[in-house]
Amino acid sequence: MKFQYFLLIIFTAFTFGCKNIGRQPDNPTVNDTLSATEVQPDPDIDSSLIHDTSRPDGVYEDKNANGIVTERGEIRNGVQDGKRYTYFADGKPRTEENFVNGSYEGTFKEFHQNGKLFQEGHYSHNAMNGIWKTYYDTGELKEEVTMVANNENGPFKEYHKNGKIKYEGTYKDGDHEDGEMKVYNEEGELIKKLDCKMGECNTIWVKKAYEDFKR
C-alpha cells in the first residue's frame, strides 16, 4: 500500500479506489491504490494434481530436467491427500501445504526464493480462514489480514520494515477498506486518518506538524 501525500489542510478530502493485485512491489508508484495483501497460493504452482486421477495412488516425486525435485506429495483414492511440497528450480522450498481428501486443510506456507518465509496462513474446509501473514524477503513481518471463507473480512495491518505499524484498518467483504483507517510514519507516529466506505477512502485528518514539515 502506498498513499500520495498532498499538501492538504485538515479535513481536506480525497478518494482512493481499490484494486485486486498479485504480488505487489515494495515501492509502488505514487498512483498505486490501496490493495489487499496477497493471500492465495502462487498461481504459477500447478494445482491440477489436487484432483489428479492420472496418477496412481501412493507417494510421488517430480523432477526437472536437471534431476532436481520440483514437487513431492501423495495421492489417495485418486486425489491429493496429506502433505504436498513444491520447490524452485534450484531445489529450494517453495510451498508447503496440506490436503484432506482433495481439499486444502491446515497450514499453508510459501517461501521467497532466498529461503525466507513469504506467506503463511490456515485453510479450513478448502477455504482461507483466520489471520494470514506476509513477510519481506529479509524476514520481517509485512502484512497481516483476517480471512473468512477466502475473503478479506476483518482487521488488517501493514508494517514498515523496522517493525513499526504502517497502516491499520478493516476489510469488509473482500479487499474493501471500511471504517476508520490509520497511517503511520516509520517512527510509529500517527500522521493521517481516513474514513472508508467499501473501498472508497477520504482523508479526514492529517497531523499538522507533518503537513508543515512536508511544505
pLDDT at residue number 208: 83
pTM of the model: 0.75
Distances in Å between the Cα of 3 and the Cα atoms of 10, 30, 40, 161, 168 are: 16, 7, 24, 17, 13
pLDDT tens digits, one per residue of 76-96: 999 999 999 999 999 999 999
Q: What is the mean pLDDT of residues 198-202?
A: 97
Q: C-alpha grid cell for residue 92? A: 529450494
Strand bridging mode 58-63 / 151-159:
unpaired
Q: C-alpha grid cell for residue 193? A: 486518518
Neighbours of 37 (CB within 10 A): 24
DSSP 8-state symbol, 195 = E
Q: What is the mean pLDDT of residues 3-17?
A: 33
- Residue 181 C-beta-side C-alpha neighbours within 13 Å: 29
pLDDT at residue number 97: 97
Q: Which residue has the cell 481439499?
A: 103
The domains found in the chain, sorted by start residue, are 1-35+140-215 (no CATH), 42-139 (2.40.128)
With a pLDDT cut of 70, the percent of the chain lying above it is 72
Rg (CA), the chain: 20
- 26 vs 205 pLDDT, higher one: 205
Tell me how far apart the 2 most distant CA atoms of the chain are, in Å: 68
Compute the distance between CA of residue 214 and CA of residue 21 in angstroms, rounded to an integer.
30
pLDDT at residue number 43: 47
Q: C-alpha grid cell for residue 48? A: 491440477
pLDDT tens digits, one per residue of 92-120: 999 999 999 999 999 999 999 999 999 99
Phi, psi of 129 (to 5 degrees): -140, 155
Whats the size of the chain, residue-wise? 215
pLDDT tens digits, one per residue of 143-166: 999 999 999 999 999 999 999 999
| Type of residue found at 127 | A
All residues at 6 or more sequence positions from 148 whose CB lies less than 8 Å from its CB, including other chains? 129, 154
Compute the distance between CA of residue 9 and CA of residue 202 in angstroms, rounded to an integer.
13
Compute the distance between CA of residue 29 and CA of residue 161 in angstroms, rounded to an integer.
18
